[in-house]
Structures are given as structure tokens and as C-alpha cells.
């Protein structure tokens, strides 16, 4: 018997006067494509799940959304004192606090989202077995719900920019580019990790360590210019490097180092597309394995 996998074909019947949705359920082999129309049909569910994530995260806390500010502020403070003043890491002439804050904010978003997204299927296990809705919604919800935190914590950066009297430049027009790059990383990683995590709980064990190490792989607390010239392209294959360097350049007005951003963009695109395919392939066995 050939390899058993499943897809759901959805076609509309045009032969009869009544248009009814025809669903075919059967095992089918091969790689599947993402059904964007289905996702669009479920957009209300998307909205409410994201809303639920946001509300539940800060439920019954007194500080509520302030936590989105407090944590990064403390991090920036500690890094500035320890790494900026005591260890005196180079920051390319930019005040260290500003240097690190522009990087910490997107990093917080990405690291939190990768963690949540990778556990999304495991934690949603209860719902998975009781009702059908496009499974893609699970890893994508944290990507959207954490944007709220990101939006709030961006205020910190704006405050620091004002404090250090950094003038806006045309580079700001590229902000959407890096924003999209920033989103695509946890999305791609989340798709991969979540489909692996349902089968191999090792993912959960390794995640905190992995994220910690990942932080050092990008120029968050140190400057990318510290990396020797010969290794810089290799270094830039990490898309997080591209995000951090891109944000720094567009917010602080320094020239955008496209040479070191584009490799990361390519990696991110591959990660995202391959993640989507892998997820769809694993989607069908999720409920049986979880």
C-alpha cells in the first residue's frame, strides 16, 4: 500500500441549481498546498483566538499591559550597565542604551513568539481532537497576538530616540520591510517546531536553551562589526541578524547594510515556505499522535 496521507479537497458543485459545498475525505499521498480560502473563511476564529491569547496572558494581573514595557526596560537597563559600561562592548559609536533597545524589542517579540508557536499544537491538543478548523491557525495566532506587546514596547524605543535626539531619516520607509522579515522568522520557525513538537517532546526541552543561544547569534548586545569580515556573509545567513541590523539602520539613520541583510531574507523565505509544507504534511497525523 502506498504511503498514506490525507488531504481534503473542497469543490463547489456547479451542476445543480443549489450550490452546496462538497467535501471529499480520503487518504491521499504527497505534499499539500495551503488552502488560503479556508483560512479566510475562518478569519473570525483567528480574530477571537488572538483576542483570547492577549486577554488570557495578562488576565488578573494588576499591571496588565505594563508588563510589556517593564520587562524590556529592565533588560535594557541591565545590559546597558553591565555590558555597555562595565564590559564596554562596542556599539559603533551609538549610545549603548539606544543601541541595545532597538534590538531588544524585536528580539523579545521573536523569542516569545517562537516559544509560544512551537508549543501551540501541543497545548491546543484538547481542542484539536474535538473540532475541526484549519490547524495553521494554531502556530500563527501567537505571531499576531504578540504584536500587541511589540507595539506597546516600541514606545520605549521612541522615547529613547527622542531623548537622544535622533532625527528620522528616509530609512524609516524601510521599516515595513524589516517588520515583515521580523514576523516571518517566528512564523517559519513556529511552523517547523510546532509540527516537530507534537511528535518529539524534545523540542520543548531544547527550546529555552535554543532561544538563549540564539540571542547571541545576532548583534543584539554587541555590534555586528565585531564579526570578522570573512565570516560576515555566513553570519548574515541568520535572518535575525538581518532584522536587527535593519531595524538599527532604519531607526537610527545609519546606512542600511543590505549585503548583510539579504542572505537572511533568503533564509527566512526558505524557512517559511518549507515550514508551511512540512506543517501541512504533518497536519493530518496531529490528532493521532499528540
Partner 1 sequence: MKDNDIAIRVENISKCYRLGVKEEQADNLLATMGNFIKNPFTNYKKYRSLYRFDDFDPLSEDNPPDILWALKDVSFEVKEGEIVGIIGVNGAGKSTLLKILSKITVPTGGRAMIRGRVSSLLEVGTGFHPELTGRENAYLNGTILGMSKKEIDRKFDQIVDFSGIEKYIDTPVKRYSSGMKVRLAFAVAAHLEPEILIIDEVLAVGDASFQKKCMDKMKDVGQQGRTVLFVSHNMPAVTRLCPRTILLNGGIVQIDDVSHRVVSAYMKAGMDSKAERLWYDGETAPGDEVIRLCSVRVKTKEGKVTDTIDIQSPVGLEMEYEVLQPGYELQVYYHVIFEGGVEAFEPIDNDPIWRNKSRPMGRYVSTAWIPGNFLSEGMYFIGPTIRTRNPELRRIRVDDAVAFQVIDNLDGNSARVDYMGNLGGVVRPLLKWETQYTLTGDHVLGETIAREGSR
Residue numbers at the binding site for partner 1 (CB under 8 A): 1, 3-6, 8, 13, 16, 20-27, 42, 44-45, 47-49, 51-52, 55-56, 59-60, 127-133, 199-200, 284-285, 287-289
CB of 283 to partner 1, least distance (A): 9
Smaller CB separation from partner 1, 44 or 229: 44
Alpha-carbon distance values, 79 to 85, 120, 160 (Å): 9, 31, 15
Smaller CB separation from partner 1, 55 or 213: 55
Smaller CB separation from partner 1, 7 or 267: 7
Three-class SS of residue 11?
Answer: strand
CB of 31 to partner 1, least distance (A): 15
| Rounded distance between C-alpha atoms, residue 268 and residue 96, angstroms | 28
| CB distance 259 to 252 below 8 Å | no
CB of 5 to partner 1, least distance (A): 8
Alpha-carbon distance values, 270 to 226, 265, 287 (Å): 27, 9, 27
CB of 23 to partner 1, least distance (A): 5
| CB distance 290 to 122 below 8 Å | yes
Alpha-carbon distance values, 68 to 105, 152, 284 (Å): 10, 7, 36
CB of 1 to partner 1, least distance (A): 6
CA-CA-CA-CA torsion for 114, 78, 172, 211, nearest 10 degrees?
Answer: -20
Smaller CB separation from partner 1, 11 or 230: 11
Smaller CB separation from partner 1, 40 or 172: 40
Alpha helices in 171-238 (DSSP H): 175-197, 202-216, 232-236
CB of 119 to partner 1, least distance (A): 16
Smaller CB separation from partner 1, 50 or 114: 50
Nearest Cα neighbor of 111 from 288, 14, 240 is 240
Amino acid at each position: 500500500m502506498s504511503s498514506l496521507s490525507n488531504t481534503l479537497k473542497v469543490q463547489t458543485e456547479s451542476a445543480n441549481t443549489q450550490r452546496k459545498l462538497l467535501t471529499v475525505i480520503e487518504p491521499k499521498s504527497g505534499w499539500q498546498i495551503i488552502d488560503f480560502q479556508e483560512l479566510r473563511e475562518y478569519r473570525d476564529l483567528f480574530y477571537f483566538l488572538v483576542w483570547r491569547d492577549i486577554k488570557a496572558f495578562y488576565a488578573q494581573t494588576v499591571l496588565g499591559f505594563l508588563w510589556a514595557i517593564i520587562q524590556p526596560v529592565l533588560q535594557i537597563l541591565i545590559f546597558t550597565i553591565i555590558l555597555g559600561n562595565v564590559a564596554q562592548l562596542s556599539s559603533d559609536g551609538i549610545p549603548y542604551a539606544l543601541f541595545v533597545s532597538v534590538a531588544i524589542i524585536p528580539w523579545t517579540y521573536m523569542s516569545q513568539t517562537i516559544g509560544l508557536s512551537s508549543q501551540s499544537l501541543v497545548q491546543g491538543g484538547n481542542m484539536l481532537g474535538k473540532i475541526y478548523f484549519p490547524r495553521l491557525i494554531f502556530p500563527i495566532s501567537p505571531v499576531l497576538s504578540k504584536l500587541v506587546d511589540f507595539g506597546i514596547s516600541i514606545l520605549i524605543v521612541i522615547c529613547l530616540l527622542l531623548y537622544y535626539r535622533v532625527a528620522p531619516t528616509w530609512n524609516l520607509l524601510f521599516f515595513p520591510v524589516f517588520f515583515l522579515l521580523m514576523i516571518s522568522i517566528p512564523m517559519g520557525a513556529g511552523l517547523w517546531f510546532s509540527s516537530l513538537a507534537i511528535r518529539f517532546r524534545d523540542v520543548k526541552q531544547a527550546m529555552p536553551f535554543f532561544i538563549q543561544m540564539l540571542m547571541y547569534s545576532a548583534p543584539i548586545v554587541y555590534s555586528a562589526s565585531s564579526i570578522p569580515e570573512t565570516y560576515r556573509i555566513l553570519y548574515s545567513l541568520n535572518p535575525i541578524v538581518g532584522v536587527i541590523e535593519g531595524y538599527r539602520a532604519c531607526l537610527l539613520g545609519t546606512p542600511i547594510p543590505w549585503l548583510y541583510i539579504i542572505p537572511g531574507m533568503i533564509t527566512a523565505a526558505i524557512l517559511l515556505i518549507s515550514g508551511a509544507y512540512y506543517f501541512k504534511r504533518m497536519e493530518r497525523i496531529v490528532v493521532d499522535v499528540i
